[in-house]
């Protein structure tokens, strides 16, 4: 059943898919929404056509999903880590087997190129394999106490966790949150972004096929209101959120009321520092990777590109040449490297940042305009040409605010000391990057940058083994890597007396 829905949907091409199957999932099956009168259209970014209807879940539906997740949790938490691992490895195998189909649907819903979506799905099954591998390793400590007494610690699950996702990596975010959660013995109720509701439910079906108890991974659809219901629900032990800083602050406030743990993966305005002793071609490639993946809608993008003055002309010439050569268009074509932005309002917002940059003294070296592909079916898609802005200053809006579009701002610098100060002059702290051939400088810069990640001589690589998360307003908690186990589990101390109780009373 689940596979036949996927097979049918993935037969589509750009401009032809209409999704009518229910997008909620709990109790081991897709669940029809109750409040059809609240339906809102979801658009295919490449064509501007309606892809499906989004019907937000209300309190009753969220409650049903929670109960279903809690029931599954009671079974799942009792299973040995190795048993959970076996189920998760099967889920990883199924994702891998269906990678092309899932990627295709992700592209139709999100607008990114198929080349990128395939990488996203590969990262998803790798994440599942990685946390399956860790599921059997959860363990505690044995502590010897006087008189033969001792204590030991147990790493236990938290319970039902809520996951709230952004639109830019819909399937991958659902896996990045649920894989470590499930490995630790938790259940998860996940709410995707209302703009990208289609692929999370495919993950739910894959988990079911792999053998998780019904309800272990539930999907509820909706926007801010449904998200609020999740954060306030008494069953929820932890909220893991990916999205913007303003929403992250609200999530934290709401979670505080129930003393729920939170992980916040928020936005950024990351610096990429290119020294004159770098290998220029790699630095240029790195700058493109730091700015143009997923049409620039990536939280950890290095959008403030600081280039040492002496190499500025060569850098600009090369970066502009390569940016102009990026093939923009139908995201399902193999040759396309940049697809459509997520929505019309997002496209308008990004274009406005470009005009404002011009008004504030920036110079557009290329792109920054709406792009209309020649294919008639793409005429109403949300495309723009990737943009390089020169002549930027630290006080310009395009340098201070997260644009979330394909816009690179370039600024000159003189010295290491100066550039570190300028790079850190932001409330964000998600990522950073440095290109240099001087290894002492590379590590010194990495140490001094206030960010959760520093890439040396590359940018935006994302192996699942390494922790990812923010400093400052970019959030806290980590995703990926071993450390995430700590964010999805809690420690119990068991104290064992071997002698008589020495009472003071």
Ligand X SMILES: NC(=O)C1=CN([C@@H]2O[C@H](COP(=O)(O)OP(=O)(O)OC[C@H]3O[C@@H](n4cnc5c(N)ncnc54)[C@H](O)[C@@H]3O)[C@@H](O)[C@H]2O)C=CC1
Ligand Y SMILES: C[N+](C)(C)CCCC(=O)O
Catalytic residue among 44, 116, 265, 402: 265
C-beta closer to ligand X: residue 136 or 223: 223
C-beta closer to ligand Y: residue 5 or 119: 119
Task: By CB under 6 A, tell whether 404 contacts ligand X.
Answer: yes
Which of 115, 228, 261, 391 contacts ligand X by CB under 6 A? 228
Hey, which residues between 236 and 275 contact ligand X (CB under 6 A)?
A: 242-244, 247, 250-251, 265-268
DSSP 366-404: E--SB---SSGGGTTS--B--EEEES--TTSHHHHS---
C-beta closer to ligand X: residue 245 or 278: 245
Binding segment for ligand X among 34-42, 47-55, 76-84, 225-233 (CB under 6 A)? 225-233
Please state the separation of Cα 424 from the chain's center in Å. Answer: 23
- What is the distance between the alpha carbons of residues 213 and 392, in angstroms, rounded to a whole number? 54
- What is the distance between the alpha carbons of residues 382 and 338, in angstroms, rounded to a whole number? 11
- Structure tokens that stand for 275 in this block: 């020294």
Among ligand Y, ligand X, none, residue 116 binds (CB under 5-8 Å by kind): none
Please state the separation of Cα 466 from the chain's center in Å. Answer: 14
DSSP class of 292: -
> For residue 319, which of 408, 403, 432 has the smallest C-alpha distance?
408
Is 265 known to be catalytic? Answer: yes
Least distance between ligand X and beta carbon 59 (Å): 14
Q: Do 340 and 46 contact (CB within 8 A), yes or no?
A: yes
C-beta closer to ligand Y: residue 182 or 299: 299
Please give the C-alpha separations between residue 440 and each of 258, 314, 436, in angstroms, as whole numbers.
Answer: 47, 25, 10
Among ligand Y, ligand X, none, residue 460 binds (CB under 5-8 Å by kind): ligand Y
Residue 429 three-state SS:
coil
Interstrand relation of 187-191 and 217-219 (parallel, antiparallel or unpaired): parallel
Task: By CB under 6 A, tell whether 164 contacts ligand X.
Answer: yes
Residues near ligand Y (CB under 6 A): 168-169, 293, 298-300, 460, 462
Least distance between ligand Y and beta carbon 298 (Å): 4
Q: Which residue is nearest to ligand Y (CB)?
A: 462
Residue found under tokens 């997008």:
23
Task: By CB under 6 A, tell whether 400 contacts ligand X.
Answer: no
C-beta closer to ligand Y: residue 300 or 410: 300
- Residue ranges of alpha helices (H) inside 267-367 are 280-291, 312-324, 344-359
Interstrand relation of 407-413 and 187-191 (parallel, antiparallel or unpaired): unpaired
Task: By CB under 6 A, tell whether 402 contacts ligand X.
Answer: yes
Among ligand X, ligand Y, none, residue 72 binds (CB under 5-8 Å by kind): none
Task: By CB under 6 A, tell whether 306 contacts ligand X.
Answer: no
Residues with catalytic roles: 265
Residues of this chain that interact with ligand X (CB under 6 A) are 164-168, 191, 193-194, 223-224, 227-228, 231, 242-244, 247, 250-251, 265-268, 299, 402, 404, 430
């Amino acid at each position: 059943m689940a596979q036949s829905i996927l097979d049918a949907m993935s037969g589509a091409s750009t401009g032809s898919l209409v999704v009518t199957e229910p997008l909620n999932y709990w109790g081991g099956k897709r669940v029809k929404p109750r409040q059809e009168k609240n339906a809102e259209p979801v658009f295919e970014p490449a064509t501007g056509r309606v892809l499906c209807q989004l019907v937000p879940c209300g309190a009753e539906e969220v409650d049903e999903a929670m109960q279903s997740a809690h029931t599954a949790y009671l079974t799942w938490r009792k299973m040995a880590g190795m048993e959970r691992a076996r189920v998760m490895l099967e889920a990883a195998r199924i994702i891998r087997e269906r990678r092309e189909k899932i990627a295709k649907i992700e592209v139709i819903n999100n607008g990114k190129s198929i080349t990128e979506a395939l990488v996203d799905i590969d990262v998803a099954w790798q994440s599942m394999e990685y946390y399956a591998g860790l599921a059997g390793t959860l363990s505690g400590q044995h502590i010897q106490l006087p008189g033969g007494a001792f204590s030991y610690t147990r790493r236990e699950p938290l319970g039902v966790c809520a996951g709230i996702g952004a639109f830019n990596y819909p399937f991958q975010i659902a896996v990045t949150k649920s894989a470590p959660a499930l490995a630790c013995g938790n259940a998860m109720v996940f709410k995707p972004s209302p703009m990208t509701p289609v692929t999370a439910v495919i993950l739910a079906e894959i988990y079911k096929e792999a053998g998780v108890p019904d309800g272990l991974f539930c999907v509820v659809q909706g926007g801010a209101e449904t998200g609020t219901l999740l954060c306030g629900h008494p069953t929820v032990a932890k909220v893991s959120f990916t999205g913007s800083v303003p929403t992250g602050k609200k999530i934290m406030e709401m979670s505080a009321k129930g003393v729920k743990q939170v992980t916040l993966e928020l936005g950024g305005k990351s610096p990429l520092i290119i020294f004159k002793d770098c290998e220029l071609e790699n630095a240029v490639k790195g700058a493109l990777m730091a700015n143009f993946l997923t049409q620039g809608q990536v939280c950890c993008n290095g959008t403030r590109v600081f280039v040492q003055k002496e190499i500025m002309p060569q850098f600009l010439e090369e970066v502009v040449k390569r940016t102009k050569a990026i093939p923009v268009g139908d995201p399902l074509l193999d040759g396309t490297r940049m697809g459509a932005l997520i929505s019309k309002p997002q496209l308008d917002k990004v274009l406005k940042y470009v005009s404002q940059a011009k008004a504030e003294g920036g110079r557009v070296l290329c792109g920054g305009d709406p792009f209309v592909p020649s294919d008639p079916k793409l005429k109403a898609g949300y495309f723009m040409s990737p943009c390089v802005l020169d002549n930027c200053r630290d006080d310009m809006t395009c340098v201070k605010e997260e644009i979330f579009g394909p816009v690179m701002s370039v600024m000159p610098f003189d010295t290491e000391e100066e550039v570190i100060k300028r790079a850190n002059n932001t409330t964000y702290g998600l990522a950073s990057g440095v290109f240099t051939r001087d290894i002492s400088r590379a590590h010194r810069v990495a140490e001094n940058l206030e960010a959760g990640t520093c890439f040396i001589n590359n940018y935006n690589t994302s192996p699942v083994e390494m922790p990812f998360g923010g400093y400052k307003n970019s959030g806290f908690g980590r995703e990926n890597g071993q450390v995430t186990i700590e964010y999805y589990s809690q420690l119990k101390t068991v104290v064992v007396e071997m002698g008589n109780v020495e009472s003071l009373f």
